[in-house]
Amino acid sequence: MSVREATFDVLRRAGLTTVFANPGSTEVTLLGGLPDDLRFVLGLHEGSVVGMATGWAMGHDAPALAVLHTTAGLGNAVGAIATARVNRVPLIVLVGQQDRRHLALEPFLAGHLAGLAGDYPVWADQPVRAQDVPGAVARAAHEAVTFRGPALVVVPMDDWDAPYEGEILAAPARLLRPPAQPGPGGGSGSEADPAPLAELLGGARAPVIVAGAGACGAWEPLVALAELLGCPVWQEPFGARAGFPQDHPLFAGVLAADRPGLRAALAGHDVVLAVGAPVFRQYAYTPGPLVEPGTTVALVTDDPSEAHRSPADLAYLADPAATCARLAALLPARLRGAAGDGPAARVRSAREAVPPVPADGRPLRSAHVLRELARRLPGDAVLVEEAPSARPDLHRLVPARNPLGFVSAAMGGLGFALPAAVGLRMALPDRPVVAVTGDGSALYGLHALWSAAHYRVGALFLVLSNSRYAVLDRLADRHGAKAPWPAFTEVDVSGLARSLGCRSLRVETHAELTAVLDEVVPALAVREEPLLVDVTVAVDHDYRP
User: 145: which residues sit within 8 A by CB, 6+ positions away?
Assistant: 63, 90, 175, 183, 184
What is the model's pTM? 0.86
CB 153 within 8 A of CB 94: yes
Amino acid at position 157, single letter: M
pLDDT at 377 over 90: yes
Query: How large is the average pLDDT for residues 468-490?
Result: 77
With H, G, I as helix, E, B as strand and everything else as coil, classify residue 21. Answer: strand
Taken in order 182, 183, 186, 190, is the CA torsion positive or negative?
Answer: negative
Reported as half-sphere exposure (CB side, CA atoms, 13 A), residue 260 has a value of 4
CB 342 within 8 A of CB 225: no
Alpha-carbon distances of 325 from 17, 198, 318, 322, rounded to whole Å: 38, 11, 12, 5
What was the pLDDT predicted at 342? Answer: 60
What was the pLDDT predicted at 114? Answer: 82
CA angle 95, 97, 99 (to 5 degrees): 150
What was the pLDDT predicted at 444? Answer: 87
Between 297-301, 454-458, 460-464, 477-481, the lowest mean confidence (pLDDT) is in 477-481
Between 44-58, 114-128, 402-416, 474-488, the lowest mean confidence (pLDDT) is in 474-488
Alpha-carbon distances of 501 from 188, 432, 438, 458, rounded to whole Å: 58, 21, 20, 13
Q: What is the pLDDT of residues 13-60, one digit of tens each?
A: 999 999 999 999 999 999 999 999 999 999 999 999 999 999 999 999
DSSP string for 203-215:
T-SSEEEEE-GGG
Specify which of 232-236, 278-282, 439-443 reaches the highest per-range mean pLDDT.
Answer: 232-236
Q: What is the pLDDT of residues 212-230, one digit of tens each?
A: 999 988 999 999 999 999 9
Residue of 439 and 453 predicted with greater confidence:
453
Question: Pick from 207, 210, 139: which is nearest to 175 by CA?
Answer: 139
pLDDT band at 543 (very low <50, low <70, confident <90, very high): very low
Question: Pick from 306, 303, 313: which is nearest to 273 by CA?
Answer: 313
CA angle 498, 500, 505 (to 5 degrees): 25
Look up residue 486 and give its DSSP letter: P
C-alpha span between 536 and 358 (Å, rounded): 13
pLDDT at 191 over 60: no
What residues does 532 pair with on adjacent strands?
Answer: 461, 504
Beta strands in 205-276 (DSSP E): 207-211, 233-235, 251-254, 271-275
33 Ramachandran zone, left/alpha/beta (phi>0; psi -120 to 50)? left
pLDDT band at 182 (very low <50, low <70, confident <90, very high): very low
pLDDT band at 341 (very low <50, low <70, confident <90, very high): low
Query: How large is the average pLDDT for residues 403-425?
Result: 90
% of the chain surpassing 90 pLDDT: 72
Instruction: Please count the helices (runs of H) and the strands (runs of E) in the chain.
Output: 19, 19
pLDDT at 186 over 50: no
Alpha-carbon distances of 426 from 80, 241, 421, 445, rounded to whole Å: 50, 19, 9, 17
What was the pLDDT predicted at 360? Answer: 67
Amino acid at position 164, single letter: Y
Residue of 362 and 510 predicted with greater confidence:
510
Alpha-carbon distances of 394 from 90, 120, 295, 354, rounded to whole Å: 46, 45, 30, 12
Query: How large is the average pLDDT for residues 452-472?
Result: 89
pLDDT at 478 over 90: no
What was the pLDDT predicted at 488? Answer: 74
Look up residue 523 and give its DSSP letter: G
Query: In the chain, what are the domains?
Result: 3-168 (3.40.50.970), 195-345 (3.40.50.1220), 354-536 (3.40.50.970)
CB 245 within 8 A of CB 347: no
pLDDT band at 105 (very low <50, low <70, confident <90, very high): confident
Residue of 354 and 508 predicted with greater confidence:
508
pLDDT at 185 over 60: no
pLDDT at 405 over 80: yes
With H, G, I as helix, E, B as strand and everything else as coil, classify residue 18. Answer: strand
CB 312 within 8 A of CB 306: no
Q: What is the pLDDT of residues 278-333, one digit of tens each?
A: 999 988 888 889 999 999 999 999 999 999 999 999 999 999 999 999 999 888 87
CB 410 within 8 A of CB 238: yes
